[in-house]
Amino acid sequence: MTGGARLSGSVRVRGAKNSVLKLMAAALLAEGTTTLTNCPEILDVPLMQRVLEGLGCEVTVDGSTVTITSPESPSSNADFDAVRQFRASVCVLGPLTARCGRATVALPGGDAIGSRPLDMHQSGLERLGAQTRIEHGALVAEAASLTGAEISLDFPSVGATENIVTAAVLADGRTVLDNAAREPEIVDLCDMLISMGARIDGVGSSTLTIDGVDKLYPTNHEVVGDRIVGGTWAYAAAMTGGDITVGGVSPKHVHLALEKLRNAGAQVETYEHGFRVRMDGRPKAVDYQTLPFPGFPTDLQPMAIGISAIAEGTAVITENVFEARFRFVDEMMRLGADATVDGHHVVLRGIERLSSTDVWASDIRAGAGLVLAGLVADGVTTVHEVHHIDRGYPKFVENLRQLGAKIERISVDE
Protein backbone atom coordinates (compact mmCIF):
# COMPACT_ATOMS: atom_id res chain seq x y z
CA MET A 1 0.00 0.00 0.00
CA THR A 2 1.09 3.56 -0.69
CA GLY A 3 0.39 6.03 2.07
CA GLY A 4 -1.26 9.40 1.72
CA ALA A 5 -4.69 8.65 0.29
CA ARG A 6 -7.76 10.13 1.97
CA LEU A 7 -10.39 7.40 2.23
CA SER A 8 -13.95 8.39 1.39
CA GLY A 9 -17.15 6.73 0.31
CA SER A 10 -19.39 4.06 1.77
CA VAL A 11 -18.97 0.45 2.81
CA ARG A 12 -21.45 -2.15 4.00
CA VAL A 13 -20.62 -4.56 6.80
CA ARG A 14 -21.70 -8.20 6.73
CA GLY A 15 -22.44 -10.48 9.68
CA ALA A 16 -20.03 -10.76 12.58
CA LYS A 17 -17.18 -13.25 12.53
CA ASN A 18 -17.51 -13.54 16.30
CA SER A 19 -21.15 -14.53 15.90
CA VAL A 20 -21.53 -16.62 12.75
CA LEU A 21 -19.15 -19.36 13.90
CA LYS A 22 -21.01 -19.78 17.20
CA LEU A 23 -24.38 -19.80 15.40
CA MET A 24 -23.11 -22.51 13.07
CA ALA A 25 -22.11 -24.58 16.10
CA ALA A 26 -25.49 -23.96 17.76
CA ALA A 27 -27.19 -25.60 14.75
CA LEU A 28 -25.91 -28.90 16.21
CA LEU A 29 -28.55 -28.59 18.95
CA ALA A 30 -31.47 -29.42 16.64
CA GLU A 31 -31.98 -32.19 14.12
CA GLY A 32 -32.85 -30.74 10.72
CA THR A 33 -31.86 -27.80 8.56
CA THR A 34 -30.93 -24.38 9.94
CA THR A 35 -30.26 -21.46 7.58
CA LEU A 36 -28.06 -18.48 8.45
CA THR A 37 -28.15 -15.34 6.32
CA ASN A 38 -25.92 -12.22 6.21
CA CYS A 39 -22.88 -14.42 6.82
CA PRO A 40 -19.45 -12.89 6.15
CA GLU A 41 -17.39 -14.39 3.33
CA ILE A 42 -14.31 -15.04 5.45
CA LEU A 43 -11.85 -17.91 5.77
CA ASP A 44 -13.16 -19.06 9.16
CA VAL A 45 -16.61 -19.97 7.79
CA PRO A 46 -15.34 -22.84 5.57
CA LEU A 47 -13.08 -23.88 8.47
CA MET A 48 -16.16 -24.23 10.70
CA GLN A 49 -17.88 -25.97 7.81
CA ARG A 50 -15.14 -28.64 7.95
CA VAL A 51 -15.62 -29.04 11.70
CA LEU A 52 -19.38 -29.53 11.34
CA GLU A 53 -19.05 -31.88 8.37
CA GLY A 54 -16.66 -33.96 10.45
CA LEU A 55 -19.44 -34.23 13.05
CA GLY A 56 -21.88 -35.58 10.45
CA CYS A 57 -23.61 -32.38 9.34
CA GLU A 58 -24.31 -31.41 5.76
CA VAL A 59 -23.15 -27.81 5.25
CA THR A 60 -23.62 -25.60 2.20
CA VAL A 61 -21.97 -22.19 1.89
CA ASP A 62 -23.51 -20.04 -0.85
CA GLY A 63 -22.17 -16.51 -0.63
CA SER A 64 -23.69 -14.93 2.46
CA THR A 65 -26.02 -17.87 3.17
CA VAL A 66 -24.96 -20.93 5.15
CA THR A 67 -27.25 -23.97 5.40
CA ILE A 68 -26.55 -26.62 8.05
CA THR A 69 -28.40 -29.93 8.27
CA SER A 70 -27.72 -31.59 11.62
CA PRO A 71 -28.22 -35.38 11.74
CA GLU A 72 -30.24 -37.37 14.24
CA SER A 73 -27.05 -38.58 15.92
CA PRO A 74 -24.05 -36.26 15.39
CA SER A 75 -20.55 -37.50 16.05
CA SER A 76 -19.15 -36.29 19.36
CA ASN A 77 -15.53 -36.19 18.21
CA ALA A 78 -14.46 -32.90 16.58
CA ASP A 79 -11.76 -33.41 13.94
CA PHE A 80 -8.29 -32.50 15.24
CA ASP A 81 -6.90 -31.03 12.01
CA ALA A 82 -9.92 -28.75 11.50
CA VAL A 83 -10.33 -27.65 15.12
CA ARG A 84 -6.72 -26.76 15.84
CA GLN A 85 -6.66 -24.11 13.10
CA PHE A 86 -8.88 -21.57 14.85
CA ARG A 87 -9.98 -20.75 18.36
CA ALA A 88 -13.72 -20.42 17.78
CA SER A 89 -14.00 -24.14 17.08
CA VAL A 90 -14.20 -24.77 20.84
CA CYS A 91 -17.80 -23.48 20.68
CA VAL A 92 -18.97 -26.96 19.60
CA LEU A 93 -18.22 -28.17 23.15
CA GLY A 94 -21.50 -27.04 24.74
CA PRO A 95 -23.83 -28.18 21.94
CA LEU A 96 -22.18 -31.61 21.65
CA THR A 97 -22.24 -32.20 25.40
CA ALA A 98 -25.93 -31.30 25.53
CA ARG A 99 -27.01 -33.21 22.42
CA CYS A 100 -24.73 -36.27 22.52
CA GLY A 101 -23.82 -36.58 26.19
CA ARG A 102 -20.16 -36.47 25.21
CA ALA A 103 -17.77 -34.13 23.40
CA THR A 104 -14.13 -34.53 22.41
CA VAL A 105 -12.72 -31.27 21.08
CA ALA A 106 -9.04 -30.84 20.20
CA LEU A 107 -7.45 -27.94 22.04
CA PRO A 108 -7.81 -25.15 19.50
CA GLY A 109 -5.29 -22.85 17.88
CA GLY A 110 -5.87 -19.40 16.40
CA ASP A 111 -4.47 -15.93 16.95
CA ALA A 112 -1.26 -15.25 18.87
CA ILE A 113 -2.78 -12.73 21.29
CA GLY A 114 -2.15 -14.46 24.60
CA SER A 115 -3.36 -17.38 26.67
CA ARG A 116 -7.08 -18.10 26.71
CA PRO A 117 -7.53 -21.04 29.08
CA LEU A 118 -10.63 -23.20 29.01
CA ASP A 119 -10.99 -23.54 32.78
CA MET A 120 -14.24 -21.54 32.91
CA HIS A 121 -15.68 -23.63 30.08
CA GLN A 122 -14.84 -26.78 32.03
CA SER A 123 -16.03 -25.57 35.41
CA GLY A 124 -19.32 -24.34 33.92
CA LEU A 125 -20.06 -27.70 32.30
CA GLU A 126 -19.06 -29.48 35.52
CA ARG A 127 -21.56 -27.36 37.45
CA LEU A 128 -24.19 -28.67 35.01
CA GLY A 129 -23.18 -32.23 35.82
CA ALA A 130 -20.56 -33.07 33.21
CA GLN A 131 -17.17 -34.58 33.88
CA THR A 132 -14.30 -32.97 31.97
CA ARG A 133 -10.65 -33.74 31.42
CA ILE A 134 -7.75 -32.99 29.08
CA GLU A 135 -6.72 -36.15 27.26
CA HIS A 136 -4.34 -36.65 24.32
CA GLY A 137 -4.45 -32.96 23.38
CA ALA A 138 -8.23 -32.72 23.53
CA LEU A 139 -10.84 -31.49 25.98
CA VAL A 140 -13.28 -34.29 26.80
CA ALA A 141 -16.68 -33.70 28.42
CA GLU A 142 -19.08 -36.49 29.40
CA ALA A 143 -22.56 -36.34 30.95
CA ALA A 144 -25.31 -38.94 31.13
CA SER A 145 -27.60 -35.95 31.69
CA LEU A 146 -27.23 -32.26 32.46
CA THR A 147 -28.99 -30.50 35.32
CA GLY A 148 -29.53 -26.77 35.76
CA ALA A 149 -27.31 -24.99 38.28
CA GLU A 150 -26.26 -21.60 39.57
CA ILE A 151 -23.01 -20.58 37.90
CA SER A 152 -20.94 -17.46 38.44
CA LEU A 153 -18.05 -16.62 36.10
CA ASP A 154 -14.86 -15.09 37.52
CA PHE A 155 -14.62 -13.02 34.32
CA PRO A 156 -17.33 -12.36 31.72
CA SER A 157 -15.76 -14.70 29.19
CA VAL A 158 -17.54 -14.73 25.84
CA GLY A 159 -16.52 -18.30 24.99
CA ALA A 160 -17.43 -19.70 28.39
CA THR A 161 -20.79 -17.92 28.33
CA GLU A 162 -21.53 -19.41 24.89
CA ASN A 163 -20.64 -22.97 25.86
CA ILE A 164 -22.53 -22.84 29.15
CA VAL A 165 -25.67 -21.39 27.53
CA THR A 166 -25.67 -23.87 24.64
CA ALA A 167 -25.37 -26.73 27.12
CA ALA A 168 -27.92 -25.36 29.59
CA VAL A 169 -30.71 -24.95 27.01
CA LEU A 170 -31.16 -28.76 26.97
CA ALA A 171 -30.40 -29.34 30.67
CA ASP A 172 -33.05 -30.49 33.14
CA GLY A 173 -34.24 -27.51 35.19
CA ARG A 174 -33.11 -23.91 35.59
CA THR A 175 -29.63 -22.50 35.13
CA VAL A 176 -28.73 -19.03 36.39
CA LEU A 177 -25.50 -17.71 34.87
CA ASP A 178 -24.10 -14.68 36.70
CA ASN A 179 -21.40 -12.33 35.33
CA ALA A 180 -22.21 -13.54 31.84
CA ALA A 181 -20.70 -11.79 28.84
CA ARG A 182 -22.95 -9.08 27.38
CA GLU A 183 -21.46 -8.71 23.89
CA PRO A 184 -23.87 -8.22 20.97
CA GLU A 185 -22.71 -11.60 19.66
CA ILE A 186 -23.98 -13.24 22.87
CA VAL A 187 -27.34 -11.52 22.35
CA ASP A 188 -27.35 -12.78 18.76
CA LEU A 189 -26.71 -16.36 19.91
CA CYS A 190 -29.46 -16.17 22.54
CA ASP A 191 -31.89 -14.73 20.00
CA MET A 192 -31.22 -17.65 17.66
CA LEU A 193 -31.58 -20.20 20.47
CA ILE A 194 -34.90 -18.64 21.51
CA SER A 195 -36.10 -18.94 17.90
CA MET A 196 -35.17 -22.66 18.15
CA GLY A 197 -37.39 -23.05 21.21
CA ALA A 198 -34.98 -22.26 24.06
CA ARG A 199 -36.21 -20.39 27.13
CA ILE A 200 -33.72 -17.66 28.07
CA ASP A 201 -34.40 -14.54 30.15
CA GLY A 202 -32.11 -11.58 30.83
CA VAL A 203 -30.63 -11.47 27.32
CA GLY A 204 -28.22 -8.53 27.09
CA SER A 205 -27.69 -8.35 30.85
CA SER A 206 -24.99 -9.89 33.04
CA THR A 207 -27.40 -12.49 34.47
CA LEU A 208 -28.95 -15.09 32.18
CA THR A 209 -31.70 -17.43 33.35
CA ILE A 210 -32.10 -20.54 31.21
CA ASP A 211 -34.95 -23.01 31.69
CA GLY A 212 -34.00 -26.21 29.94
CA VAL A 213 -36.29 -27.76 27.32
CA ASP A 214 -36.52 -31.31 26.01
CA LYS A 215 -35.91 -30.47 22.37
CA LEU A 216 -34.88 -27.64 20.06
CA TYR A 217 -35.88 -27.12 16.43
CA PRO A 218 -34.03 -25.80 13.36
CA THR A 219 -34.53 -22.15 12.44
CA ASN A 220 -33.69 -19.34 10.02
CA HIS A 221 -31.59 -16.53 11.47
CA GLU A 222 -29.87 -13.36 10.21
CA VAL A 223 -26.38 -12.82 11.66
CA VAL A 224 -25.83 -9.55 13.52
CA GLY A 225 -23.58 -6.98 11.79
CA ASP A 226 -19.86 -7.09 12.60
CA ARG A 227 -19.12 -4.24 15.02
CA ILE A 228 -15.36 -4.84 14.85
CA VAL A 229 -15.25 -4.56 11.07
CA GLY A 230 -17.49 -1.49 11.33
CA GLY A 231 -15.20 0.02 13.95
CA THR A 232 -12.18 -0.68 11.76
CA TRP A 233 -13.70 1.37 8.93
CA ALA A 234 -14.49 4.16 11.41
CA TYR A 235 -10.84 4.34 12.46
CA ALA A 236 -9.72 4.14 8.83
CA ALA A 237 -11.71 7.31 8.17
CA ALA A 238 -10.27 9.11 11.19
CA MET A 239 -6.67 8.05 10.57
CA THR A 240 -6.62 9.08 6.90
CA GLY A 241 -8.50 12.35 7.36
CA GLY A 242 -11.32 10.75 5.42
CA ASP A 243 -15.09 10.54 5.27
CA ILE A 244 -16.65 7.06 5.38
CA THR A 245 -20.28 5.99 5.79
CA VAL A 246 -20.64 2.50 7.26
CA GLY A 247 -23.84 0.49 6.89
CA GLY A 248 -25.02 -2.83 8.26
CA VAL A 249 -23.98 -2.39 11.89
CA SER A 250 -25.76 -0.83 14.85
CA PRO A 251 -23.98 2.28 16.20
CA LYS A 252 -25.04 1.13 19.69
CA HIS A 253 -22.62 -1.78 19.29
CA VAL A 254 -19.67 0.58 18.70
CA HIS A 255 -20.84 3.45 20.90
CA LEU A 256 -17.66 3.86 22.93
CA ALA A 257 -15.38 3.50 19.90
CA LEU A 258 -17.30 6.25 18.12
CA GLU A 259 -17.26 8.42 21.25
CA LYS A 260 -13.46 8.11 21.38
CA LEU A 261 -13.30 9.31 17.78
CA ARG A 262 -15.48 12.29 18.66
CA ASN A 263 -13.05 13.10 21.47
CA ALA A 264 -10.21 12.85 18.95
CA GLY A 265 -11.87 15.51 16.79
CA ALA A 266 -13.93 13.48 14.33
CA GLN A 267 -17.45 14.36 13.23
CA VAL A 268 -19.69 11.35 13.83
CA GLU A 269 -23.27 10.93 12.65
CA THR A 270 -25.28 7.85 13.63
CA TYR A 271 -28.24 6.18 11.95
CA GLU A 272 -30.38 3.18 12.84
CA HIS A 273 -28.17 0.71 11.01
CA GLY A 274 -24.95 2.61 10.44
CA PHE A 275 -22.86 5.73 10.98
CA ARG A 276 -20.64 8.26 9.24
CA VAL A 277 -17.17 9.33 10.40
CA ARG A 278 -15.37 12.36 9.02
CA MET A 279 -12.03 13.75 10.21
CA ASP A 280 -10.64 17.11 9.12
CA GLY A 281 -7.05 17.62 10.18
CA ARG A 282 -4.87 15.69 12.57
CA PRO A 283 -6.58 13.69 15.35
CA LYS A 284 -6.06 14.55 19.00
CA ALA A 285 -4.57 12.01 21.42
CA VAL A 286 -7.12 10.07 23.50
CA ASP A 287 -6.53 7.45 26.20
CA TYR A 288 -8.02 3.95 25.83
CA GLN A 289 -8.52 0.92 28.02
CA THR A 290 -9.95 -2.33 26.71
CA LEU A 291 -12.76 -3.98 28.66
CA PRO A 292 -15.57 -6.48 28.02
CA PHE A 293 -18.66 -5.01 26.35
CA PRO A 294 -19.90 -2.30 26.70
CA GLY A 295 -16.28 -1.20 27.23
CA PHE A 296 -13.81 -0.50 24.43
CA PRO A 297 -13.26 -3.79 22.55
CA THR A 298 -9.87 -5.46 22.66
CA ASP A 299 -10.33 -6.30 18.97
CA LEU A 300 -10.12 -2.58 18.16
CA GLN A 301 -7.03 -2.02 20.29
CA PRO A 302 -4.66 -2.12 17.25
CA MET A 303 -6.74 0.64 15.65
CA ALA A 304 -6.55 2.68 18.87
CA ILE A 305 -2.76 2.30 18.78
CA GLY A 306 -2.70 3.22 15.09
CA ILE A 307 -4.58 6.48 15.49
CA SER A 308 -2.64 7.35 18.66
CA ALA A 309 0.65 6.89 16.80
CA ILE A 310 -0.18 9.83 14.49
CA ALA A 311 -2.28 11.91 16.90
CA GLU A 312 -1.36 15.26 18.38
CA GLY A 313 -0.24 14.65 21.95
CA THR A 314 0.43 11.60 24.13
CA ALA A 315 -1.97 8.69 24.67
CA VAL A 316 -1.95 5.75 27.07
CA ILE A 317 -3.54 2.49 25.88
CA THR A 318 -4.26 -0.14 28.53
CA GLU A 319 -4.95 -3.75 27.55
CA ASN A 320 -7.09 -5.59 30.13
CA VAL A 321 -8.22 -8.63 28.12
CA PHE A 322 -5.39 -10.32 26.17
CA GLU A 323 -1.90 -9.90 27.58
CA ALA A 324 0.04 -10.62 24.38
CA ARG A 325 -1.81 -8.18 22.14
CA PHE A 326 1.03 -5.64 22.43
CA ARG A 327 3.09 -7.74 20.02
CA PHE A 328 1.48 -5.41 17.53
CA VAL A 329 3.41 -2.49 19.03
CA ASP A 330 6.73 -3.94 17.88
CA GLU A 331 5.55 -3.78 14.28
CA MET A 332 4.22 -0.26 14.76
CA MET A 333 7.64 0.80 16.04
CA ARG A 334 9.14 -0.57 12.81
CA LEU A 335 6.87 1.96 11.10
CA GLY A 336 8.35 4.71 13.26
CA ALA A 337 5.78 4.92 16.05
CA ASP A 338 7.14 6.49 19.26
CA ALA A 339 5.86 3.87 21.70
CA THR A 340 6.89 2.55 25.12
CA VAL A 341 5.38 -0.64 26.54
CA ASP A 342 5.10 -0.96 30.31
CA GLY A 343 3.30 -4.12 31.38
CA HIS A 344 -0.24 -3.93 30.07
CA HIS A 345 0.12 -0.24 29.16
CA VAL A 346 1.64 1.38 26.10
CA VAL A 347 2.48 5.09 25.93
CA LEU A 348 2.33 6.62 22.46
CA ARG A 349 3.74 10.05 21.66
CA GLY A 350 2.13 10.97 18.37
CA ILE A 351 4.15 11.86 15.29
CA GLU A 352 2.75 13.50 12.17
CA ARG A 353 3.56 10.65 9.78
CA LEU A 354 4.76 7.05 9.98
CA SER A 355 7.57 5.76 7.74
CA SER A 356 7.03 2.84 5.38
CA THR A 357 8.68 -0.57 5.75
CA ASP A 358 7.87 -4.30 5.79
CA VAL A 359 5.76 -5.49 8.74
CA TRP A 360 4.23 -8.82 9.78
CA ALA A 361 0.69 -9.53 11.01
CA SER A 362 0.39 -11.84 14.03
CA ASP A 363 -3.41 -11.98 14.22
CA ILE A 364 -6.57 -10.79 12.46
CA ARG A 365 -6.87 -7.36 14.07
CA ALA A 366 -3.13 -6.67 14.09
CA GLY A 367 -3.11 -7.34 10.36
CA ALA A 368 -5.92 -4.87 9.72
CA GLY A 369 -4.30 -2.34 12.04
CA LEU A 370 -0.99 -2.57 10.18
CA VAL A 371 -2.72 -1.98 6.86
CA LEU A 372 -4.35 1.18 8.25
CA ALA A 373 -0.97 2.28 9.59
CA GLY A 374 0.56 1.72 6.16
CA LEU A 375 -2.07 4.00 4.66
CA VAL A 376 -0.75 6.88 6.80
CA ALA A 377 2.95 6.17 6.25
CA ASP A 378 5.19 7.81 3.66
CA GLY A 379 6.06 5.60 0.72
CA VAL A 380 5.18 1.94 0.18
CA THR A 381 4.48 -0.42 3.10
CA THR A 382 4.20 -4.20 2.74
CA VAL A 383 2.20 -6.24 5.26
CA HIS A 384 3.09 -9.94 5.34
CA GLU A 385 1.06 -12.92 6.67
CA VAL A 386 -2.19 -11.34 5.50
CA HIS A 387 -4.00 -14.69 5.64
CA HIS A 388 -4.83 -13.61 9.19
CA ILE A 389 -6.87 -10.69 7.80
CA ASP A 390 -8.83 -13.07 5.56
CA ARG A 391 -10.14 -14.79 8.68
CA GLY A 392 -12.06 -11.71 9.80
CA TYR A 393 -12.45 -9.14 6.99
CA PRO A 394 -14.43 -9.93 3.83
CA LYS A 395 -12.96 -8.40 0.66
CA PHE A 396 -10.68 -6.14 2.68
CA VAL A 397 -8.44 -5.01 -0.18
CA GLU A 398 -11.38 -4.53 -2.55
CA ASN A 399 -13.22 -2.35 -0.03
CA LEU A 400 -10.11 -0.25 0.62
CA ARG A 401 -9.63 0.32 -3.12
CA GLN A 402 -13.25 1.36 -3.45
CA LEU A 403 -12.64 3.93 -0.70
CA GLY A 404 -9.61 5.34 -2.53
CA ALA A 405 -6.65 3.45 -1.06
CA LYS A 406 -3.63 2.66 -3.21
CA ILE A 407 -3.28 -0.99 -2.30
CA GLU A 408 -2.74 -4.31 -4.02
CA ARG A 409 -2.40 -7.92 -2.95
CA ILE A 410 0.60 -9.83 -4.24
CA SER A 411 1.95 -13.35 -3.89
CA VAL A 412 5.45 -13.57 -2.46
CA ASP A 413 7.67 -16.59 -3.07
CA GLU A 414 8.97 -18.01 0.21
Catalytic residue among 44, 62, 79, 111: 111
pLDDT on residue 90:
86
* 18 labelled binding-site residue: yes
Q: At what angle do helices 255-263 and 227-239 cross, to 10 degrees?
A: 10
pLDDT on residue 114:
41
pLDDT on residue 206:
97
* 163 labelled binding-site residue: no
Annotation marks residue 178 as catalytic:
no
* The model's pTM: 0.94
pLDDT on residue 115:
44
pLDDT on residue 367:
96
How would you class 281 by CB atoms within 10 Å of its CB: exposed for 0-12, middle for 13-18, buried for 19 or more?
exposed
Quick: pLDDT tens for 259-303.
999 999 999 999 999 999 999 999 999 999 999 999 999 999 999
pLDDT on residue 112:
43
Which residues of the chain carry a pLDDT beneath 70? 79-88, 108-117, 323-325, 412-414
* 321 labelled binding-site residue: yes
Give the count of alpha carbons within 13 A of 26, CB side only.
36
CB 216 within 8 A of CB 171: no
Cα angle 104, 106, 108 (rounded to 5 degrees) comes to: 140
* 353 labelled binding-site residue: no
pLDDT on residue 83:
65
* 87 labelled binding-site residue: yes
What domains lie within the chain, and their CATH numbers? 8-14+226-403 (3.65.10.10), 17-213 (3.65.10.10)
pLDDT on residue 233:
98
Q: At what angle do helices 364-375 and 327-334 cross, to 10 degrees?
A: 20
